[in-house]
Every structure is written in structure tokens, then in C-alpha cells.
Amino acid sequence: MAKLFNVAWIGTGVMGGAMAGHLVAAGHRVCVHTRTKARAQRVLDHGAGWADSPAAAAEGTDVAFAMVGTPEEVEAVHRGPSGILSAKNPPRIVVDMSTSSPELAVLIDLEARARGGRGCDAPVTGGDIGARQATLSIMVGADEDSFAEILPLLSVMGKTVVRHGGPGQGQRAKLVNQVLIASTMVGMCEGLALASAAGLDAQRLLESVSTGAAGSWALANLAPRVLRGDLEPGFMVEHFVKDLGLALDLARRLNLDLPGLARAQTLYTQLIRDGHGRRGTQALTLAYAPRATEHRFV
């Protein structure tokens, strides 16, 4: 029988709730905290305990996970006055699974070490479906010993778990993932816009191009949503813009000019200004054909 852990879980949104649920189902003792208690109800019903703050949830646990929205929230739940690291007996390992700043991940590790623990970053891809089905890809930044210790827990939540180096490297790997997506989305939306303007039938076009050198996950999964006018979020524009900003920060620190990424960030930021921040990333199509689709989406 696998070792059972005392675990804290901070952040039970759409993804975090499902991921914490897998830990409960695997027999671990899980204590959760989230900003709005009602959003934790499902995982509480499954047998998790409740705490009134991140610090209280983390008190005396083996591992504390966080799955929150922004680097500011990551900072608050770890370093804030009632954050995980302010627990009297802090967890041996803190694992941030949010997509956040690599530098912040390093800082959290340093502060965890100062209290006798370790910090790891373990952001994910695979979205709400991957979280529910435990098929996430998890990109880990951790020292080797910590990775070995948390691997059984991560394996309950994801299908592909890879260590990319020490603290911060999980976040950097995740940011590369977002860079790959950004320009692919630009290509997809420009291609669909050109097809539409040229009078091509987009369904037939996808038949011709989807399985060849132009093929991508985005073309297979998001282009059909664009064609049927479905801009509901699989992944939200405002979260994507946050990630692209982190990727641009990273590139700048490395003296790397990434013009495709910069252009994608500009286009997506404009989408937020136009009021589409809470739509899915496929809403980038509105940057190219706002009038053609207006009656369907606005």
C-alpha cells in the first residue's frame, strides 16, 4: 500500500477542486482552504477537512499544495500574514501548481528552506478536463529528493509528470508551453480569417489541412468551436494574457527577442480591452473578423 500523506490544499476552483478530490479518493488526509468556502463544498462532501486560512490548513502537514489564479495570489497564500509559510509547524514541502513567476517559485523555496522545508513548483496543462480525468501534464521544478517524495501525489492527478530542474524550472517549462500555444493561436485565427474572406468553406478547409503539416491541437479542438460560434472558455483570455506577460518577462531577463510572442500578447491584451477577457482563447478570432461574428458573440 502506498504511503498516505497529511496534505493541505489551497484553492478549490474548477481545476483545484478536481485535483484535491483525486488526493482524497486516493486515501490521503486532505485539509482545504479557498477564498469562497462554497466553492470547496464538493471536495468537503468527498471527505476533505476545512480550515479558515492557508496557514491553518498547512499546520503540521507533510505537503501543502496551492492552485490559485495569479502570482499575487500565489504570493499571498504562501507569504502573506496567514499564508502557508506562517504556520507554526510549516509543511515539509510546499508545492505551487498555479502558473506563476519562476522567480517567485525560487523565493518561496528559499523561505521554505529557512523554516526547514522545501519549495516546489508544479504547474499543469490539460485544462478542466485533464484535471477531472487526472490526465494532466505536470511540469515540476524541485530538488531530486522533494520530487521523489511528491511524485506519488502528483501521479494521482496527472498522466505525464516530468521534473525540469530545480525550483522555478517547472514554471519556465510551463511558460514555454504558453509561448508555443500563443503563435499557433495567431496562425489559426489568421488562417480562418483568410479562408472566410477568400470565400472558402472552412469545414472543407479543415478536412484538407488538419492532418498535414498545418495540423495542431488548436486546429483540431478550437477551430471547430470558432466555426460554430462557441467562444466559451476552455482557458480564459485574461489568464492567458497573465501567462504571456510572465513569458515576456522571462524572455526579457534572458535578453531574448520573441516578436511572435510580443505580437500575440498585444492582440490578446486588446481583446481584454474590448471586453472579451472572460471568453476562451479561441476568441482571438474576434481580432480578425469582429463584424462578421458580432451578431453571434456579442
Give one DSSP letter per residue of 16-29, joined into a string.
HHHHHHHHHHTT-E
Residue 251 touching its own copies (CB under 8 A):
yes
**Shortest distance, CB of residue 240 to its own copies, whole angstroms?**
11
Backbone angle region of 136, left / alpha / beta, with phi > 0 → left and psi within -120 to 50 → alpha: beta
Q: Are 33 and 53 in contact (CB under 8 A)?
A: yes
Active site residue 37: no
Residues 134-173 close enough to bind its own copies by CB under 8 A:
137, 139, 160, 162-165, 169, 172-173
Residues 80-119 as x/- pattern, contact with its own copies by CB under 8 A: ----------------------x-----------------
> What's the min distance (Å) between Cβ of 296 and its own copies?
19
Please, are residues 54 and 9 in contact by the beta-carbon 8 Å criterion? Answer: no
Which SS3 state, helix, strand or coil, does residue 94 take? strand
Least CB distance from residue 190 to its own copies, whole Å? 5
Query: CB-based burial of residue 199 (10 Å sphere; 0-12 exposed, 13-18 middle, 19+ buried)?
Result: exposed
247 contacts its own copies (rule: CB under 8 A): yes
Measured CA to CA, the distance from residue 135 to residue 129 in angstroms comes to 8
Residues in touch with its own copies (CB under 8 A): 102, 125-127, 130, 137, 139, 160, 162-165, 169, 172-173, 175-184, 186-188, 190-191, 193-195, 197-201, 204-205, 207-209, 211-219, 221, 235, 247, 250-251, 254, 256, 258-261, 263-264, 267, 288
- Residues annotated as catalytic are 174
